[in-house]
Structure 1
Amino acid sequence: MNLNKIVVGSEEWCNLPHLNIPAIKARIDSGARTSALHAVNITPFTKNGEAWVSFDVHPLQDDGRTTINCEAPVLGKRRVKSSSGVSETRFVIESALAVADEAWTIEITLTNRDSMGYRMLLGRQAMAGRIVVDPEASFLLGEMTSQMLDGFYNAHVSRPTGLKIGLLASDPSLYSNKRIMEAGQERGHEMEFLNIKDCYIKLDGRNPEMHYRGGRILNDFDAIIPRIRPSATFYGCALTRHFEAMGVYTLNSARAITQSRDKLYSLQLLINNGLTIPTTGFANSPLDTNELIRMVGGAPLIVKLLEGTQGKGVVLAETKKAAESLINAFKSLRANILVQEFVKEAGGKDIRCFVVNGKVVASIMRTAAPGEFRANIHMGGVASLTKITQEERRMAILASKTLHLKVAGVDIIRGKNGPMLLEVNSSPGLQGIEGASNKDIAGIMIEAVEKELKFKRC
């Protein structure tokens, strides 16, 4: 037994000298086997006939402006399932780890850790024989002051030289919102998070204004990226519409978001454009319950709340009696519902196509958790990269164009007679699609804004 092991707490500042990262806060986790490093813009290349990978690291949490450009030889690739259920293939590299005046080589996987509380995870493989953990302690090896971090990273901070872009949303801590902020900062834009609840409007035919908490007037934005949660659709779209009236470019328009959030209306628009959907019924009166069940092919069937999202408000009725009870219960609450054919051959899987500016930039297969019929990673499902057919690509692009969405998550299932469209999401999440595809989807969204405003980065 080595009595000279380094004692660390549950979180420590680490140094990765081979990667030119002098200070990065790491979660010390003996429950995890491998170590992981926050990395974006991961790009493989060949150097002297060998496999290498280049990547960018934002070593400080919630800071997309401080960027270290790195490259390293590739040791291999490893399939990893994250704590959020996303299955991804990660590049594995080696780097020196320096702590407490000692240094040794460790293996590190590269992944986007924006949804995590730390930019680095130190697993037990890297600690074996050298480190013991006191889980009740923190920073036993010393803290970093802001002055120390400034000294390390000041030369690596990108100064805003581009557009001023506002992210109109409700929760700055969400993975998708953090990634968009980070991607904009990386590209030299001034990014600001605008909380929907803190915005208010001045209606004036000659001088319309958008105000923010404390009385500040928001009159200097080049673009707004709206990411509006369903519960805030009415107010969020009113704000988006007002920005449009002020001449500010919005990545998705208020009209497009409103259409996509009305599940019935959006399905009507989609089928009118020739897109195939599962047979769906809608009625107002409980007297029509049996006819609704019959028209979608009987049980099992799906009952959907019109206002639901991310699989919430979606219920599987496995028998006719259960369907009758469920439909009548919803109607007694005056809830608007759709009754939809259950496509058994889909096998609890669906395809999420991420569309930006009329192009499918990534697609993943989502598989439902055991015992669950909804293929949703928020409910324990697993996401993995998949190849879509030309017909599925055509459907995804046509669906987003039909609803006038420049950014859309289009959900498709594979039935016995071909692909069918489930729904179109105007604020699609980035975590599953970025994790499974290893693509910088947030960056592609920022580039869509740049293209529309004819902005060219130096």
Structure 2
Amino acid sequence: MKITILSRSASISSTKRLVEAARARGHQVRVLNPVRVEMHLDGRRANLYYRRRRLPPCDVVIPRIAQSINNYGLAVVNQFAMGGMALVNTARAIAESRNKMRSLQLLSAHGIDIPATVMARDAADLKAMVGLVGGVPVLVKLLQGQEKRGVMVCESLQSLEAALEAILGLGHNLIVQQYVKHSGQDVRVLVVGGKAVAAVRRRPRVGRMSYTLNRGARLERLELTDSQREAAEKTAVLVGLEVAGVDLLDVEEGHPKVFEVNSSPALPEMESATGLDLAGTIIERAEQLATGAPAIGAPERAPAAVPPRRKRASRPRA
């Protein structure tokens, strides 16, 4: 089987693991930097080129699109789909997961518990709405920020106001979210093909309030509860991601809150903590998709109910 991995570099640790796992299963693998892919449309064909050479088709594409090239990268993913190639994560699903407010709206509408969240365009409005998320401290997140730099904790109204004015003044959209202190479990679940295949508890380094894998959290293997498994699996299916890192906060046992969905979760750290071949699991799902297995997709949204028209009262004839 011929597999294409869209990634900035073959030396990135997660990309390297996917290449190793694919070759171990006897597949041909090529890693393409999405920004080096050129696209051609003429109303009849959707052609792809790499450094001005036409790309031969492959069986399946595994996107690992960086946030810094999000718009161009998603256009490339979509072009592969137009060429009839199977995708592990569609452009639509990746875009849905990257817009924090839209993904939270989708989850909330389908009964997934999330931390209290507010969004507004004015700093004064956001400051006034802090009470709706439980007061300070709060998380401030760029709406489409990178996991490494898109989150900050504001512990006072003064620091919040300064952060809001600075960020909004730069033209960035953001959300303010309930900050749940780490009295419970901070969990990342890897979901592949709609099934939770691994989970870790994350403990921040001493003195750090950050919870992200990219900022040095210590990982421990975790056996999921039924409610954690259900929340993670339902989240991935709703967003439409074949491969997803679903981040949960479980403050009260049995009541997990989903606070983030990642379409390109880091693999080596989770593999090291769990002892599992997670890259191999993703390649196995890619094989299934390439051979016609049904893909995960966000369910069709039911159209809004249209109220029945009121009948006009008939006027009495003269």
Say yes or no: does 1:399 pair with 2:235.
Answer: yes
- Where 1:238 maps in the other structure, the secondary structure is helix
More strand by share: 1
Task: Provide the C-alpha distance between the structure 2 equivalents of 1:453 and 1:173, rounded to a whole number of angstroms.
Answer: 25
> Could you list the runs of 4 or more consecutive aligned residues of structure 1 that deviate by over 3 angstroms after TM superposition?
none
Match 2:72 to one of 222, 235, 244: 235
Q: Deviations over 1:164-223 (max 9, x none)?
A: 11001112211100010111111111000111111010012222100001x221132111
> Contact between 2:245 and 2:263, CA under 8 Å: does it hold in 1?
yes
Partner of 1:277: 114
> Contact between 1:282 and 1:339, CA under 8 Å: does it hold in 2?
yes
Task: Provide the C-alpha distance between the structure 1 equivalents of 2:179 and 2:148, rounded to a whole number of angstroms.
Answer: 14
Say yes or no: does 1:264 pair with 2:264.
Answer: no
Partner of 2:204: 368
> Contact between 2:126 and 2:176, CA under 8 Å: does it hold in 1?
no
Query: Aligned partner of 2:223: which letter?
Result: K
Match 1:440 to one of 277, 280, 302: 277
Task: Provide the C-alpha distance between the structure 2 equivalents of 1:208 and 1:313, rounded to a whole number of angstroms.
Answer: 35
Task: Provide the C-alpha distance between the structure 2 equivalents of 1:264 and 1:420, rounded to a whole number of angstroms.
Answer: 15
Partner of 1:389: 225
Structure 1 segment 17-36 matched on structure 2, within 5 A = none
Task: Provide the C-alpha distance between the structure 1 equivalents of 2:126 and 2:92, rounded to a whole number of angstroms.
Answer: 32
- Where 1:397 maps in the other structure, the secondary structure is helix
Query: Aligned partner of 1:395: which letter?
Result: A
Number of residue pairs the alignment of both structures matches? 291
Instruction: List alignment gaps of at least 5 residues for structure 2.
Output: 293-318
Query: Aligned partner of 2:123: which letter?
Result: P
Task: Provide the C-alpha distance between the structure 2 equivalents of 1:346 and 1:284, rounded to a whole number of angstroms.
Answer: 32
Say yes or no: does 1:313 pair with 2:150.
Answer: yes
Partner of 1:415: 251
Query: Cα distance 1:346–1:307, how it changes in 2: closer, same or farther (>3 A)?
Result: farther
Alignment root-mean-square deviation, CA: 1.4
Match 1:324 to one of 161, 168, 191: 161
Say yes or no: does 1:191 pair with 2:29.
Answer: yes
Deviation at 1:311, TM superposition (A): 4.0
- Where 1:344 maps in the other structure, the secondary structure is coil
Task: Provide the C-alpha distance between the structure 1 equivalents of 2:9 and 2:105, rounded to a whole number of angstroms.
Answer: 31
> Contact between 2:200 and 2:222, CA under 8 Å: does it hold in 1?
yes
Partner of 2:265: 428
Query: Aligned partner of 1:391: which letter?
Result: S
Deviation at 1:392, TM superposition (A): 0.5
Task: Provide the C-alpha distance between the structure 2 equivalents of 1:366 and 1:204, rounded to a whole number of angstroms.
Answer: 49
Task: Provide the C-alpha distance between the structure 1 equivalents of 2:252 and 2:146, rounded to a whole number of angstroms.
Answer: 26
Structure 1 segment 126-137 matched on structure 2, within 5 A = none
Structure 1 segment 5-84 matched on structure 2, within 5 A = none
> Contact between 2:93 and 2:240, CA under 8 Å: does it hold in 1?
yes
Percent identity at matched positions?
Answer: 37
Q: Deviations over 1:352-399 (max 9, x none)?
A: 100000111100111111111112332221011011110000000000
- Where 2:111 maps in the other structure, the secondary structure is coil
Task: Provide the C-alpha distance between the structure 2 equivalents of 1:317 and 1:330, rounded to a whole number of angstroms.
Answer: 13
- Which structure exhibits the higher relative contact order, with contacts defined as CA atoms closer than 8 Å and separated by 6 or more residues? 2
Deviation at 1:345, TM superposition (A): 4.5
Task: Provide the C-alpha distance between the structure 2 equivalents of 1:346 and 1:194, rounded to a whole number of angstroms.
Answer: 42
Query: Aligned partner of 1:366: which letter?
Result: R
> Contact between 1:283 and 1:292, CA under 8 Å: does it hold in 2?
no
Query: Aligned partner of 1:270: which letter?
Result: L
Query: Aligned partner of 1:195: which letter?
Result: N
Using the size of structure 2 for normalisation, the TM-score is 0.88
- Where 1:264 maps in the other structure, the secondary structure is helix
Structure 1 segment 110-125 matched on structure 2, within 5 A = none
Task: Provide the C-alpha distance between the structure 2 equivalents of 1:453 and 1:313, rounded to a whole number of angstroms.
Answer: 34
- Where 2:245 maps in the other structure, the secondary structure is strand
Say yes or no: does 1:337 pair with 2:213.
Answer: no
Task: Provide the C-alpha distance between the structure 2 equivalents of 1:257 and 1:376, rounded to a whole number of angstroms.
Answer: 19
> Contact between 2:2 and 2:27, CA under 8 Å: does it hold in 1?
yes
Bigger Rg, which one? 1
> Contact between 1:297 and 1:341, CA under 8 Å: does it hold in 2?
yes
> Contact between 1:376 and 1:382, CA under 8 Å: does it hold in 2?
no
Task: Provide the C-alpha distance between the structure 2 equivalents of 1:290 and 1:306, rounded to a whole number of angstroms.
Answer: 17
More helix by share: 2
Task: Provide the C-alpha distance between the structure 2 equivalents of 1:171 and 1:448, rounded to a whole number of angstroms.
Answer: 22
Query: Aligned partner of 1:263: which letter?
Result: K
